[in-house]
């Protein structure tokens, strides 16, 4: 009997005759309402690929690399939910375009396709433009990732140019379940021509037990609940009870429920953007701060190009008929929404059982966390990586890493076959809230620290400048010899003399502020995590 994998590959051969990109009917030739001075300098393809197993049509949008599309790696991006569209991530996080309030489109200077070919997949079918939704079966993670695995076979048959190139799987949030499940399939049942090289997951929902016990610790550590409320939760909510209360379990006690309710009410969590505690929420037409269901709150970045109402603009744009025609949506007009509530989905409580196999496969593995996210906070993530989960061994201890702007960008620690990195000041959707540092982290993950330190990066004009000379090398941490101490002493005397002269000068004339030139990184400043 032929195996399922054999059938998938055989069926994929049907599409091989359409693989010539030059004549590809999925090529996107225009972006409606594009209004940006920068021309579109990359090719892109969008449309449906049918799955042989059940006929579902999976919608994808492929954006080629701006640099070397014929040699750069291929990256798959999956948003979470479950049931949220990866086109949300496309337009509000890491894709090349951003929708304005007037539904015009501008470029995202921090797009992840600068040096990678990125394919955004709407999964499972029933989400976004991927159709149809199967009402007769209940979706779960095994089913969903089996369909993504099947999609990859079709994709590689249609685009053989990516054969044997490094392939990475990335995503965020519930992709903490999706990605390990898919990675497990790719490791245990390799697909022909798919050179699976690694995975990266942001703020990943991974293990219910480890993460549920970290919520109150996070709120307390960020000054959002009082010590009295925190102590009451610790007293009345042992671990098993706390997990039950956070997930509607039968073992939730009245005392624990009351302690949690009191703490959350005092923290005004209903008025907070839980995905980015330092950001604003989108104000709806009635002037009230609105909470959109599930995954739909987007942050006010204060420093990027994405606004807190980016979801609404994206939804309105993707529902324009001219847009759906441009990206080859079939079957008539589709009412596109970011996250579907129509899918009956059985969530997995954990993906930890997949890690032992995939971590032994020699893959590059990056788990990253924006430290301003309450939904899947970095405390819980550290717990499942260590004592409450995988119990991985530290091989390179905790240390700071720096962005291309020479600012401290977060912290990183390397474990056996896995790297954990935080992004300072970033929320649940890291590329939206810290776009420059997210881009740098991503490209260092793909190419290595030494390579990405030589890349040029966008000048983030909305970042505060430190006043430092950004062309100057970072000070060395090597031991100082006696000669250096002599120069330090000499410098101190010289500084004192100059300070006195400066004071006299200041008394005579009004000083002017210096202008700091913001330049791209050329010095050896780079994240400390390794490939």
**Cβ count within 10 A of residue 67:** 15
| Active-site residue, selected from the candidate residues 141, 373, 405, 460 | 373
Q: Is residue 135 situated within a structural domain?
A: no
| Active-site residue, selected from the candidate residues 65, 428, 437, 460 | 428
Which whole number is the average pLDDT over 85-91?
A: 96
Q: Is residue 302 situated within a structural domain?
A: no
List, in sequence order, every residue forming a beta bridge with 45; answer none if it has no partner.
Answer: 27, 62
Structural contact between residues 366 and 529, judged by C-beta atoms closer than 8 angstroms? yes
Taken as a whole, the chain contains a residue count of 531
Structural contact between residues 339 and 85, judged by C-beta atoms closer than 8 angstroms? yes
Closest CA to 120 of 143, 98, 99, 94: 94
Annotate 84-142 with DSSP letters as a single string. B-HHHHIIIIISSEEE-TTS-EEE-TT-TTSSSEEEEE--STTSTT-B---TTS-EEHH
Alpha carbons 27 and 175: distance in angstroms, whole number: 28
Alpha carbons 243 and 493: distance in angstroms, whole number: 62
Q: 116 pLDDT exceeds 80? A: yes
Which of 92-96, 172-176, 265-269, 324-328 has the least mean pLDDT?
Answer: 265-269
- For residue 237, the enclosing domain spans 209-294
* Cis preceding-peptide flag for 335 (omega within 30 of 0): no
Alpha carbons 300 and 276: distance in angstroms, whole number: 8
HSE, side-chain direction, 13 A CA sphere, residue 401: 29
**Cβ count within 10 A of residue 434:** 29
Which whole number is the average pLDDT over 500-508?
A: 51
Q: Is residue 458 situated within a structural domain?
A: no
175-184: pLDDT as tens digits: 999 999 999 9
| Active-site residue, selected from the candidate residues 65, 86, 173, 229 | 173
Q: Is the pTM of this model over 0.95?
A: no
Alpha carbons 369 and 373: distance in angstroms, whole number: 8
**Cβ count within 10 A of residue 459:** 15
6-34: pLDDT as tens digits: 444 434 433 333 334 568 999 999 999 99
- Determine what percent of the chain is predicted with pLDDT higher than 70: 77
Residues 6+ apart with CB under 8 A from 391: none
Alpha carbons 57 and 400: distance in angstroms, whole number: 44
**Cβ count within 10 A of residue 134:** 16
**Cβ count within 10 A of residue 418:** 20
Give me the helix-helix angle, 141-158 and 4-12, nearest 10°. 30
Is 173 one of the catalytic residues?
A: yes
Domain count of the fold of the chain? 1
Alpha carbons 439 and 426: distance in angstroms, whole number: 12
Is 373 one of the catalytic residues?
A: yes
**What one-character DSSP code corresponds to residue 161?**
G
253-270: pLDDT as tens digits: 999 999 999 999 998 877
Q: Is residue 256 situated within a structural domain?
A: yes
Q: Is residue 320 situated within a structural domain?
A: no
445-500: pLDDT as tens digits: 999 999 999 999 987 654 433 333 444 444 433 333 434 444 444 555 555 556 55
Alpha carbons 326 and 31: distance in angstroms, whole number: 7
Structural contact between residues 441 and 527, judged by C-beta atoms closer than 8 angstroms? yes
Q: Is residue 524 situated within a structural domain?
A: no
258-303: pLDDT as tens digits: 999 999 999 887 788 888 988 877 764 322 223 223 333 333 333 4
Q: 307 pLDDT exceeds 80? A: no
59-78: pLDDT as tens digits: 999 999 999 999 999 999 99
DSSP-derived 3-state class of residue 366? strand
Structural contact between residues 327 and 47, judged by C-beta atoms closer than 8 angstroms? yes
Q: Is residue 182 situated within a structural domain?
A: no
| 73 backbone dihedrals φ, ψ, rounded to 5° | -70, 165
Q: 355 pLDDT exceeds 80? A: yes
Alpha carbons 31 and 59: distance in angstroms, whole number: 17
Is 471 one of the catalytic residues?
A: no
Alpha carbons 397 and 263: distance in angstroms, whole number: 34
Q: Is residue 249 situated within a structural domain?
A: yes
């Amino acid at each position: 009997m032929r195996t399922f994998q054999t059938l998938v590959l055989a069926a994929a051969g049907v599409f091989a005759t359409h693989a010539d990109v030059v004549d590809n009917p999925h090529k996107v030739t225009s972006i409606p309402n594009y209004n940006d001075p920068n021309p579109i300098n990359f090719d892109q393809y969008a449309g449906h690929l049918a799955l042989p197993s059940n006929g579902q049509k999976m919608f994808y949008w492929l954006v080629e690399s701006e640099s070397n599309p014929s040699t750069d790696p291929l990256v798959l991006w999956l948003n979470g939910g479950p049931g949220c569209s990866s086109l949300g991530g496309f337009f509000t996080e890491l894709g090349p375009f951003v929708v304005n309030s007037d539904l015009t489109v501008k470029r995202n200077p921090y797009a992840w396709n600068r040096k990678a070919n990125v394919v955004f997949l709407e999964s499972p079918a029933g989400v976004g433009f991927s159709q149809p939704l199967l009402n007769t079966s209940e979706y779960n993670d095994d089913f969903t990732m089996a369909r993504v695995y099947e999609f990859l076979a079709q994709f590689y048959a249609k685009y053989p140019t990516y054969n044997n190139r490094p392939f990475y799987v990335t995503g965020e949030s519930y992709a903490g379940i999706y990605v390990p499940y898919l990675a497990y399939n790719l490791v245990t049942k390799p697909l022909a021509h798919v050179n699976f090289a690694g995975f990266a997951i942001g703020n990943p929902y991974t293990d219910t037990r480890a993460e549920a016990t970290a919520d109150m610790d996070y709120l307390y550590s960020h000054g959002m609940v009082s010590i009295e409320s925190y102590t009451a939760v610790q007293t009345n909510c042992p671990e098993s009870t706390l997990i039950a209360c956070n997930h509607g379990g039968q073992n939730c006690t009245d005392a624990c429920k009351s302690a949690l309710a009191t703490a959350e009410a005092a923290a005004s969590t209903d008025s907070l953007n839980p995905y980015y505690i330092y950001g604003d929420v989108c104000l709806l037409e009635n002037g009230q701060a609105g909470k959109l269901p599930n995954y739909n709150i987007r942050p006010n970045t204060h420093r990027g190009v994405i606004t807190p109402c980016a979801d609404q603009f994206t939804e309105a744009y993707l529902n324009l008929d001219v847009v759906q025609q441009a990206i080859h949506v079939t079957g008539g007009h589709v009412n596109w929404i970011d996250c579907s509530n129509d899918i009956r989905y059985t969530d997995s409580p954990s993906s930890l059982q997949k890690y032992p196999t995939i971590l032994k496969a020699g893959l590059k593995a990056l788990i990253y966390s924006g430290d301003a996210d309450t939904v899947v906070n970095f405390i819980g993530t550290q717990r499942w990586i260590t004592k409450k989960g995988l119990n991985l061994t530290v091989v390179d201890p905790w240390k700071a890493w720096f962005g291309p702007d020479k600012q401290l960008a977060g912290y990183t620690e390397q474990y056996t076959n896995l790297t954990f990195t935080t992004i300072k000041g970033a929320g649940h959707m890291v590329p939206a809230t810290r776009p420059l540092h997210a881009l740098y982290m991503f490209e260092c993950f793909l190419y290595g620290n030494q390579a990405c330190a030589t890349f040029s990066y966008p000048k983030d004009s909305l970042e505060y400048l430190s006043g430092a000379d950004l062309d100057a090398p970072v000070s060395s941490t090597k031991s100082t010899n006696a000669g250096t101490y002599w120069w330090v002493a000499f410098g101190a005397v010289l500084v004192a003399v100059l300070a006195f002269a400066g004071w006299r000068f200041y008394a005579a004339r009004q000083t002017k502020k210096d202008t700091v030139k913001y330049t791209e990184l050329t010095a050896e400043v780079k994240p400390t995590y390794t490939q």
